[in-house]
């Protein structure tokens, strides 16, 4: 089974497993309606965040039971967001494609932290896990995420007009992706 070496260190950030002491930091952003507007689920309360932290605690192992790697983005000891790689596509956990996702606390946005963290996860996906293609699905109105995808070198592959029933309404769905051969050309390291 693939295992990701943790923590992942970037210039300004550490991507690491979520710990019980992170609940306050995660609650600070996951409880905000604006932050979760484009991600599944309602704003979370403390108990739900504690469950999430317990559920996503990981030693980096990705297998059929845990086809999900959700990591805390730690900046100087504070969790400012979380990022995920999910092997939940049609070919399952042993497949060669995965979905990338992100959520960051509003007070740190606009400084490139999401780009830095997502770029590090792309590197893990391609060079450590040997993934063929990484994709992301976005609400058509989520322009901050679309710009992030573009900074990562992802291409918009599809735009489904009212293609998603999300939060009790029809919404547009954009699919972005990058393949391993394209990423090699993009990766600055």
Residue ranges in contact with ligand COA by CB under 6 A: 35, 38-39, 102-104, 109-115, 138, 142, 144-145, 147-148
Q: Closest separation between CB of residue 3 and ligand COA, Å?
A: 26
Least distance to ligand COA, CB of residue 137, Å:
7
Distance CA 177, CA 136 (A): 6
C-beta of 145 vs 171, nearer to ligand COA:
145
Taking the least distance from each CB to ligand COA, the nearer of 55 and 147 is: 147
Residue closer to ligand COA (CB basis): 121 or 138: 138
From the CB of 127, what's the least distance to ligand COA, in Å?
A: 21
CB of 28 to ligand COA, least distance (A): 13
Start-to-end CA span in the chain (Å): 27
Nearer to ligand COA, 6 or 173 (CB): 173
123 membership: H or E segment, kind and range: helix 113-123
Q: Which of 56, 62, 65 is nearest to 30 (CA)?
A: 56
**Which strand ranges, in their side-by-side order, compose the sheet holding 169-179?**
8-9, 14-16, 68-75, 78-86, 97-104, 133-139, 169-179, 155-166
């Amino acid at each position: 089974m693939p295992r990701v070496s943790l923590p992942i260190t970037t210039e300004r950030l550490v991507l690491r497993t979520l710990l019980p002491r992170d609940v306050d930091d995660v609650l600070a952003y996951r409880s905000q309606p604006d932050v979760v507007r484009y991600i599944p689920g309602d704003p979370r309360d403390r108990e739900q965040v504690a469950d999430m932290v317990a559920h996503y605690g990981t030693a980096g192992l990705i297998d059929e039971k845990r086809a999900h790697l959700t990591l805390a983005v730690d900046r100087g000891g504070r969790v400012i967001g979380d990022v995920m790689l999910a092997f939940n596509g049609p070919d399952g956990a042993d497949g060669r494609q995965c979905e990338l996702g992100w959520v960051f606390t509003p007070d740190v946005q606009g400084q490139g932290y999401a780009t830095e963290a997502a770029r590090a996860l792309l590197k893990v996906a391609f060079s450590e896990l040997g993934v063929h293609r990484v994709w992301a699905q976005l609400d058509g109105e989520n322009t901050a995420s679309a710009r992030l995808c573009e900074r990562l070198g992802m291409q918009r592959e599809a735009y489904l007009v009212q293609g998603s029933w999300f939060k009790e309404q029809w919404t547009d769905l954009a699919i972005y992706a990058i393949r391993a051969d394209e990423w090699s050309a993009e990766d600055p390291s």
